[in-house]
Amino acid sequence: MEIIYLLIGISLALVAAISCAFYWTVKSGQYDDLEAPSHRLLADDDSIQGTSKNALRGT
pTM exceeds 0.85 for this model = no
Can you give the pLDDT at residue 36?
A: 78
d(CA 25, CA 35): 17
Q: What is the pLDDT of residue 52?
A: 57
Torsion of CA 31, 35, 38, 40, to 10 degrees: -100
**Average pLDDT by stretches of 10, the chain with 59 residues:** 96 98 93 78 66 57
Q: What is the pLDDT of residue 10?
A: 98
